[in-house]
Amino acid sequence: MARWEPNAAERLAHAALELFAERGYENTTVIDIAQRAGLGKSTFFRHFQDKREVLFGGGTMNALLAEAIAAAPATAGPLEAVAHALDAAGGEVFTPARREFIARRQAVIAANPELQEREALKNLALIASMADALKRRGVADLTARVAAELGALASTIAFERWSRTAAEDDFSEIARQALDEVRASTAFC
Amino acid sequence: MARWEPNAAERLAHAALELFAERGYENTTVIDIAQRAGLGKSTFFRHFQDKREVLFGGGTMNALLAEAIAAAPATAGPLEAVAHALDAAGGEVFTPARREFIARRQAVIAANPELQEREALKNLALIASMADALKRRGVADLTARVAAELGALASTIAFERWSRTAAEDDFSEIARQALDEVRASTAFC
């Protein structure tokens, strides 16, 4: 396996998390974060629009999910295409190597209403991104929106479970299980 | 019909909207809003935690929806109970009398990322509130979450449609139609 090589965005995110833990979110500036990462302020702003954004990957998740939906087999139905997006999230984002980082990141978000608001808006953007990717596959507008919402709910549930399980458990498998349960639940609504 | 009698929270919200339109959201303070409404700053903070909150009713919507779900007939399934919540929204919030206020409010939110973030978080709180109300009716945890998400999506779609239609159209009817369509779409996911 290739050694995990941090890029600028990841270095900035790690530096930000360290500083938020040491001195609090409010008492940390963008300049502090860039310095800790050994980078300049202009590099920070090339990657992130503001301090909040440093914990949200600058929109790479939207592209990752949309690309996975686009790349799903032509025969895949809407929720099966969404399952491919969740596979991609498990392969690139919610990986064993990033587990501790993600847990610390969630703790910082949970403690900061500003960050919770940004996360809520990011979640809406992810849902819109998945719905658009489904529409480009020819899925009807409303069905695409419903499938994207159900996929996002399955992802949230999978994340809750993954966060509580043993370190080796695979996010993609947990997410597919959650998606099956969510789909089955629609029959009882 | 009884004359619509504005209370302090409504007066503050109307004053805030006027000021945001006149001088912009950033250039308006809580004190400006309270003065315009003919009220004191302490009254503002009795109703709202901060400036953003003045456009979000201080949590009354959560209680309204949860109470309507609790009051739905015992025989109602999860989405039928959610339909009662949308009826309540149509009866008390998305009314013909409040239509112009709501349209101006949406325009201000659309122009302010900070307000969009607060709205996104409020939307999550509404979904959680509906899911909890369903669980208290004995609905299984996952089914309650799915029904609340589908109800929130139907509400969003209904709001989009209601905003574009003639002033007399009833939100509750539009919402029930949207809920039926959302429910039907789950079969194609």
Query: Per residue in A85-136, pLDDT tens?
Result: 999 999 999 998 889 889 999 999 999 998 999 999 999 999 999 999 999 9
Note the pLDDT of residue B188: 94
CATH classification at residue B1: 1.10.10.60
Note the pLDDT of residue B5: 38
Interface probe, candidates A116, A117, A119, A181, chain B, greatest B C-beta count within 10 A: A117
Total of domains in chain B? 2
| Residue A179 scores a pLDDT above 50 | yes
| Residue B54 scores a pLDDT above 70 | yes
Of B55, B79, B101, the residue that ends a domain is: B55
Note the pLDDT of residue A17: 94
pLDDT tens digits, A32-89: 999 999 999 999 999 999 999 999 876 789 999 999 999 999 999 999 999 999 999 9
ipTM computed for the complex: 0.89
Q: Quick one: B31 and B66 in the same domain?
A: no
Q: Quick one: B112 and B21 in the same domain?
A: no
Give the C-alpha separation, A53 to B46, whole Å. 31
Of A72-81, B58-67, B111-120, least confident by mean pLDDT is: B58-67
* A189 contacts B79? CB cut-off 8 A: yes
How far is the alpha carbon of B20 from chain A, nearest alpha carbon, in Å?
A: 21
Backbone phi and psi for residue B112, each to the nearest 5 degrees, phi listed first:
-130, 105
Q: Quick one: A62 and A34 in the same domain?
A: no
* B153 contacts A146? CB cut-off 8 A: yes
Paired tokens of A124:
């809406």
Which residues of chain B approach chain A closer than 8 Å at the C-beta? 77-79, 113, 116-118, 120-121, 123-124, 140, 142-143, 145-147, 149-150, 153, 157, 181-183, 185-186, 188-189
Q: Quick one: A79 and A119 in the same domain?
A: yes
Mean pLDDT of chain B: 92
Find the mean pLDDT for residues B149-156. Answer: 97
CATH classification at residue A141: 1.10.357.10
Q: Quick one: A66 and A130 in the same domain?
A: yes
Q: Quick one: A69 and A144 in the same domain?
A: yes
Q: Quick one: B72 and B99 in the same domain?
A: yes
Q: Quick one: B62 and B50 in the same domain?
A: no
> Chains A, B: CB contacts under 8 A, how many?
83
Give the C-alpha separation, A148 to B156, whole Å. 14
Q: Quick one: A117 and A179 in the same domain?
A: yes
First to last CA, chain B: 45
How far is the alpha carbon of A146 from chain B, nearest alpha carbon, in Å?
A: 7
CB A130 within 8 A of CB A69: yes
Q: Quick one: A47 and A131 in the same domain?
A: no
Find the mean pLDDT for residues A163-183. Answer: 91
Residue A46 lies in a domain: yes
How far is the alpha carbon of A77 from chain B, nearest alpha carbon, in Å?
A: 7
Which residues of chain A approach chain B closer than 8 Å at the C-beta? 77-79, 113, 116-118, 120-121, 123-124, 140, 142-143, 145-147, 149-150, 153, 157, 181-183, 185-186, 188-189
pLDDT confidence of B10, banded at 50, 70, 90? confident
Note the pLDDT of residue A166: 74
Give the C-alpha separation, B39 to B29, whole Å. 14
pLDDT confidence of A158, banded at 50, 70, 90? very high
Residue A1 lies in a domain: no
pLDDT confidence of B57, banded at 50, 70, 90? confident
Note the pLDDT of residue B162: 93
* A124 contacts B145? CB cut-off 8 A: no
Interface probe, candidates A146, A150, A160, A161, chain B, greatest B C-beta count within 10 A: A146
Continuous H helices in chain B: 8-23, 30-36, 41-47, 60-71, 78-92, 99-110, 113-136, 141-164, 171-185
CB A125 within 8 A of CB A58: no
Size (chain B), residues: 189
Residue A2 lies in a domain: no
**3-state DSSP: chain A helix, strand, coil percent, rounded to 5?**
75, 0, 25
Note the pLDDT of residue B89: 94
Note the pLDDT of residue B131: 98
First to last CA, chain A: 45
Note the pLDDT of residue B58: 67
Q: Quick one: A37 and A95 in the same domain?
A: no
pLDDT tens digits, B165-180: 876 789 999 999 999 9
Q: Quick one: B67 and B157 in the same domain?
A: yes
Domain that holds residue B82: 56-188
CB A182 within 8 A of CB A157: yes
Note the pLDDT of residue B59: 74
Note the pLDDT of residue A5: 38
Note the pLDDT of residue A6: 52
Residue A72 lies in a domain: yes
Note the pLDDT of residue A97: 87
| Residue A2 scores a pLDDT above 60 | no
Residue A155 lies in a domain: yes
Note the pLDDT of residue A168: 75
* A149 contacts B153? CB cut-off 8 A: yes
Note the pLDDT of residue A10: 87
Paired tokens of A69:
């939906």
